[in-house]
Amino acid sequence: MFRYPNGKTYNPGAVPAKKREAKESYSNRGMTLEEDLNETNQFYLNRAIAVIHKKPTPVQIVNVDFPKRSAAVIREAYFKQSSTTDYNGVYKGKYIDFEAKETQSDTSFPLKNFHEHQISHMKMVIDHGGISFVILSAFGSVYLMEAAVLFEFWERKESGGRKSISKKEIEASSHLIPLGYQPRIDYIKVLEKLYFH
């Protein structure tokens, strides 16, 4: 009997659930943007390309049941503080910090998906010489939008303007990330063109 590192038994005849559920289009594949980015970051890490991880969300555990020692159940917990962005790490000596967002809209990306503290955090990252951006999954594609571009749309909203970014604006101001197999979302290729050429 063979086991995967996660302890699951290897069964050569079984088709994994994810493969059974997979669909032709990206939006219906049974994978989320976060899962794809986590796999991409693992690919980068395994090949010593970059060290980028998902940030853990700080949680305060308040109530735990211990029906037996090996089966603790968290009954009540609260977020300790607002999270900043989803991912951070290092690539070629540069600090990388980014947020990942998805929308189901066919026409625009709502700015309500961002919070003031996230915008402030990204501004501080840039002020300190880091690279900050957003990876957007929208309109059946994945885009990298530099933080400086996001700030322009945010300021427009704060000044009483449009509360979303139109599809046309995203396509014109962002960088399309072609989807692949390994890595799935090769955003480092876009960063290379923008910051490391």
Q: Give residue-wise pLDDT tens across range 143-189.
A: 999 999 999 999 999 999 999 999 999 999 999 999 998 999 999 99
pLDDT at position 128 is 97
pLDDT at position 88 is 95
- Which residues of the chain are under the pLDDT cut of 50? 1, 3, 15, 17-30
**CATH number, domain 25-54+82-195:** 3.40.1350.10
Q: Where are the domains of the chain?
A: 25-54+82-195
- Residue 86 among known ligand-binding residues: yes
Mode of pairing for the β-strands spanning 87-91 and 51-54 = antiparallel
- Residue 99 among known ligand-binding residues: yes
pLDDT at position 73 is 79
- Residue 40 among known ligand-binding residues: no
- Residue 81 among known ligand-binding residues: no
pLDDT at position 56 is 72
pLDDT at position 22 is 39
**Residues 6+ away with beta carbon under 8 Å from 131:** 91, 94, 95, 96, 97, 125, 191, 195
Query: What gap in Å lies between CA 153 and CA 158, rounded to an integer?
Result: 9
pLDDT at position 101 is 93
